[in-house]
Amino acid sequence: MARVLILGGHGKVALLLEPLLVGLGHTVTAVVRNPAHAGDVDATGATPLVADIETLDLDGFTDLVAGSDVVVWSAGAGGGSPERTYAVDRDAAVRSMDAAAAAGVRRYVMVSWIGSRADHGVAPENSFFAYADAKWAADEHLRGSGLDWTILGPGTLTLDDPTGRIDTDPSGRGEVTRADVAAVVAAVIDDDSTVGRSIRFGNGSVPIAEALSN
């Protein structure tokens, strides 16, 4: 079983992921910025760790990830100013990858979004541009990092009940429940065939493990 460090440990997907990983026998540490959120993480069976990843330098990040087997990026600025979006979704993400490499943590799972590509089509004047641009830059850095990476690109997130089924490379917006995103993250951690792959997905008809193996 692996020692898994989740960055963005109080996010909606992360809070669903943590009990799944604990249930699979992994040792899970979830990083949160707000100490008031530690109790929510603790209730999942994971261990909360308070740190502000937006402000950590490379040395601080390296200390944070050291001793882990897997890093999962599930953090984000959550909208707001373009400056903070770049600071978290691009710059902090990149530092976390460099820190993983420096600390000898080989496995890295990025929770990105279905539209992350060079030709994402979001106009610079669109308020969503900073997110699209930042995520693409982070994903590209991960591809060149030398880590054992997997990039997950879920479509539009919903709060519906989990289905346990997805389709890869879906058409349209690729709506998918947050619970199924969490289940996909948990599945790829234990599936070495997903290393070096970018997987775009939405809810569909294929059981998650089968969809990931194709």
As a whole number of angstroms, the distance between CA 91 and CA 104 comes to 20
The tens digit of pLDDT for each residue in 162-195 reads: 999 999 999 889 999 999 999 999 999 989 999 9
pLDDT of 92: 98
Structure tokens that stand for 122 in this block: 């979001």
As a whole number of angstroms, the distance between CA 106 and CA 96 comes to 12
Burial class (CB in 10 A: 0-12, 13-18, 19+), 63: middle
pTM over 0.85: yes
Residue 38 main-chain phi, psi, to 5 deg: -60, -35
pLDDT of 186: 98
Q: What is the mean pLDDT of the chain?
A: 97
- Percent over 90 (pLDDT), the chain: 94
Q: What is the DSSP string of 110-153?
A: EE--TT-STT----TTSTTHHHHHHHHHHHHHHHTS-SEEEEEE
- Domain containing residue 160: CATH number: 3.40.50.720
User: For residue 214, what pLDDT band results from cuts at 50, 70 and 90?
Assistant: confident
Mean pLDDT of 79-94: 94
pLDDT > 90? residue 129: yes
Give me the sheet containing 70-73, strands edge to edge.
47-50, 27-32, 3-7, 70-73, 107-111, 148-154, 197-203, 165-168, 206-207
Burial class (CB in 10 A: 0-12, 13-18, 19+), 24: middle
Count how many domains the chain has: 1
Mean pLDDT of 37-64: 98
> Which residue range is the domain that position 202 belongs to?
3-213
Amino acid at 55: T
Mean pLDDT of 47-64: 98
User: For residue 76, what pLDDT band results from cuts at 50, 70 and 90?
Assistant: very high
pLDDT of 78: 85
Mean pLDDT of 20-37: 98
User: For residue 69, what pLDDT band results from cuts at 50, 70 and 90?
Assistant: very high
